[in-house]
């Protein structure tokens, strides 16, 4: 909630940052989760696991098909970044036919993008947000973090 409020207020605060500095701490001294506007845009590994266990998730893997075939997060749907915008513009029927899952709606709050390390999923999130999917998020840790945690879990 703090991040959403800060994101809305930040343009005004940044404009008057010099005059505000004497009155309170500068933006750089705020907690890290508040510093980044992405804090409400990211899903942690534990949040992703919880969403998967509840089956309350539309997980889109934006890596290329070869990467997807080499390893994936369960229930992820491969939607390569280079075709993301076109895919999100598809009719619900065409989307269902192509991806074998329900098409995401612009007001869905369970849309999560992921890639290998978070860069492409951040780009995917930006594309989706520009298209009106304002509640979409991304898993910044990506498949690399997921696979590493899976190795640790099976070794235990």
User: Is the Cβ–Cβ distance between 59 and 101 less than 8 Å?
Assistant: no
Phi-psi region of 104 (alpha: psi -120 to 50; beta: other; left: phi over 0): beta
Q: What are phi and psi of 77, to 5 degrees?
A: -110, 130
Distance CA 1, CA 102 (A): 29
Q: CA 121, 126, 128, 134 torsion: positive or negative? A: positive
115 is catalytic: yes
Q: Of the residues 51, 88, 115, 122, which is catalytic?
A: 115
> What amino acid positions are annotated as catalytic residues?
115
């Amino acid at each position: 909630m703090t991040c959403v409020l800060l994101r809305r207020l930040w343009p005004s605060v940044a404009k008057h940052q010099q005059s505000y500095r004497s009155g309170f701490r500068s933006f750089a001294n705020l907690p890290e989760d508040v510093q980044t506007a992405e804090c409400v845009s990211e899903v942690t590994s534990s949040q992703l696991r919880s969403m998967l266990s509840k089956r309350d998730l539309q997980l889109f893997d934006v890596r290329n098909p070869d990467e997807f075939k080499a390893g994936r997060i369960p229930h992820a749907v491969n939607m390569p970044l280079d075709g993301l915008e076109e895919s999100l513009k598809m009719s619900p029927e065409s989307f269902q036919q192509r991806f074998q899952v329900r098409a995401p709606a612009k007001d869905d709050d369970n849309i999560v993008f992921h890639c290998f390390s978070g860069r492409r999923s951040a780009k995917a999130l930006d594309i989706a947000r520009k298209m009106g999917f304002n509640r979409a998020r991304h898993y910044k840790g990506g498949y690399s973090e997921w696979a590493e945690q899976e190795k640790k879990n099976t070794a235990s």
